[in-house]
């Protein structure tokens, strides 16, 4: 290790990696591996960074980035709203204590049943298509309700993100093309059951440059200008997408950089138009990613074509490296101040060649039964997990001021059978 600075909520004491004041090697012993460990302080700090940078904005946590109810509850108490991409996420956000008027339902292909659930829950809806507008208007009218809506705009901004993470290109499946926005708002004004009060975009994820955010803000304000003559705009939602430095030598923008790039445009254009809408932002990854590490146990170290370290964590628990070629720093938790001795490729226990967590890393000498920590695993980590290859999902622990709480139990063999039904003739 020692090839990067350990972030502040992590520390090395007695050669062991610590998080939230707790020794990770002890936590592995007590709770077993694999194990997700989240620092409550870091979570609150990260949320606080957005509050400070965007003092007047409303922060809607992108719920899909971490679906743990405890994480969402902590954020709810910090004042977060939620960007919910499904009815299930609306359900969880409500359970976490987020009031419905602070939830925006943002899916791109919603069922009528989901829309009805949203209407009955009293949340706002970001409408992604004309078909959805017609369905929602019909459903809300039938229920005798009126829903506040925004339209998801496709701003045609190219963000420097992984192709699977860019959502604002004109070729992407998300949103309504800019040139159709005016006619769409006019149409919505005439329809019963829907009240168009917002405008929404989200240009992508893990964005490490600031200019696409500024470009999107300008394009959004062009559209705001085009509709402000006939729409009483209550909010402008510019989505999330701020990247984090997974590789610690990469410079990544901060919430303050984001705010510095977009707030002047927002304020100036609003002042010019004489309007005063709220600004909404929807960070996910930046709030949760670095709060959490994933501990793995080393089952084997094999010298073959490369030095392969076989662990108990595969893409069943952290799919990002396999899905997005993403990078997670690796720390040997029980040799955290050791110097690099060799080059290792860390792999999982899934029968797929792509089940690689980290390629060609310089690490201290690794032996069987060492504990490995994968950093920055709190966003799009556990929530994308599966039971592939008959592996029950692992536990999650929250650490706070030198104490640990189990916040998700490790699954058992029984969970592998959950909801499966054996027909009588096969019993
Ligand atoms: C996923 C998503 C976000 C959050 O993106 P991050 O990169 O995690 O910040 C925000 N808004 C919408 C609509 C999303 O789909």
Longest Cα–Cα distance of the chain, Å, equals 73
C-alpha dihedral over 102, 108, 109, 112, to 10 degrees? 30
Give the model's pLDDT for residue 160: 66
Is 285 a known ligand-binding residue?
A: yes
Beta 124-127 vs 147-154: how paired, if at all?
Answer: parallel
Q: How far apart are CA 296 and CA 208, in angstroms?
A: 28
- Ligand 1 within 6 A of CB of 283: yes
Q: Is 348 annotated as a binding residue?
A: no
Nearest CA to ligand 1 atom 2: 62
pLDDT along the chain (427 residues), means of 10: 64 96 97 98 97 98 98 98 98 98 96 98 97 98 98 85 71 87 97 98 95 96 97 98 92 96 98 98 98 98 96 98 96 97 97 95 98 98 97 98 96 97 96
CB-CB neighbours of 164 under 10 Å: 12
156 lines ligand 1 (CB under 6 A): no
The answer on whether 278 is annotated among ligand-binding residues is no
pTM of the predicted structure, to 2 decimals: 0.95
Ligand 1 centroid to Cα of residue 13, in Å, is 36
d(CA 10, CA 290): 10
* Euclidean distance between CA atoms 66 and 72, whole angstroms: 8
83 Cβ closer than 6 Å to some ligand 1 atom: yes
For residue 41, the Cα-to-chain-centroid distance in whole angstroms is: 18
Q: What is the pLDDT of residue 8?
A: 74
Which ligand 1 atom is nearest residue 200's CA?
13
Instruction: Identify the active-site residue in 201, 351, 383, 394.
Output: 351
Residue 201 CA, ligand 1 centroid: distance in Å:
10
Q: Which residues contact residue 188 at a Cβ distance below 8 angstroms, ignoring those fewer than 6 apart?
A: 127, 133, 137, 149, 151, 194, 196
Q: What are phi and psi of 145, to 5 degrees?
A: -125, 165
- Tokens 């620092």, residue? 39
User: Across 304-355, where does the E strand assignment appear?
Assistant: 307-311, 330-332, 342-347
Q: What are the tokens at 196?
A: 């168009």
Report the nearest atom of ligand 1 relative to the CA of 283. Answer: 9
Is the C-beta atom of 320 inside 6 A of ligand 1? no
Whether 351 is catalytic is yes
- 283 appears as a binding residue in the annotation: yes
Q: Cα-atom radius of gyration of the chain, to the nearest Å?
A: 23
Task: Look at residue 213 in the predicted model and tell me its pLDDT.
Answer: 97
Nearest 10 degrees: Cα torsion 157, 228, 262, 43: -90
DSSP 125: E
């Amino acid at each position: 290790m020692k090839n990067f600075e350990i972030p502040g909520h992590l520390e090395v004491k007695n050669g062991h990696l610590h998080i939230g004041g707790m020794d990770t090697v002890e936590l592995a012993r007590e709770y077993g591996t694999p194990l997700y460990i989240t620092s409550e302080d870091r979570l609150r700090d990260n949320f606080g960074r957005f509050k400070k940078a965007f003092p007047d904005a409303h922060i809607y946590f992108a719920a899909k980035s971490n679906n743990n109810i405890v994480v969402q509850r902590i954020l709810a108490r910090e004042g977060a709203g939620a960007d919910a991409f499904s009815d299930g996420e609306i359900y969880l956000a409500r359970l976490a204590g987020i009031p419905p008027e602070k939830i925006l339902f943002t899916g791109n292909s919603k069922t009528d049943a989901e829309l009805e659930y949203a209407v009955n829950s009293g949340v706002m809806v970001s409408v992604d298509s004309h078909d959805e507008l017609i369905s929602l208007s019909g459903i809300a009218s039938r229920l005798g309700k009126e829903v506040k809506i925004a339209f998801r705009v496709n701003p045609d901004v190219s963000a420097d993100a992984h192709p699977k993470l860019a959502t604002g290109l004109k070729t992407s499946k998300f949103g309504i093309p800019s040139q159709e926005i005016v006619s769409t708002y006019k149409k919505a004004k005439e329809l019963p059951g829907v009240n168009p009060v917002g405008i929404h975009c989200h240009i992508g994820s893990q964005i490490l440059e600031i200019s696409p955010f500024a470009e999107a803000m300008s394009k959004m304000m062009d559209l705001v200008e085009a509709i402000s003559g006939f729409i009483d705009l209550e909010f402008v939602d510019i989505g999330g997408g701020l990247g984090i430095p997974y590789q610690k030598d990469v410079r990544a923008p901060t919430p303050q950089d984001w705010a510095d790039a977009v707030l002047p445009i927002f304020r100036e254009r609003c002042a010019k138009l004489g309007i005063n809408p709220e600004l909404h932002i929807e960070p996910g990854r930046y709030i949760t990613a670095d709060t959490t590490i994933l501990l793995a146990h080393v089952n084997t170290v094999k010298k073959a074509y490369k030095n392969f370290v076989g662990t108990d964590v595969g893409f069943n628990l952290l799919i990002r490296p396999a899905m997005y070629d993403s990078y997670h720093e690796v720390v040997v938790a029980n040799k955290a101040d050791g110097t690099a001795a060799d080059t290792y490729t860390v792999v999982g226990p899934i029968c797929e060649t792509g089940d690689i967590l980290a390629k060609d890393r310089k690490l201290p000498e690794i032996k069987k039964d060492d504990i490995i920590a994968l950093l920055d695993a709190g966003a799009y980590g556990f929530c994308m997990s599966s039971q592939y290859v008959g592996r029950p999902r692992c536990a999650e622990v929250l650490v706070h001021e030198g104490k640990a709480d189990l916040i998700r139990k490790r699954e058992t063999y029984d969970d592998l059978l959950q909801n499966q039904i054996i027909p009588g003739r096969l019993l």
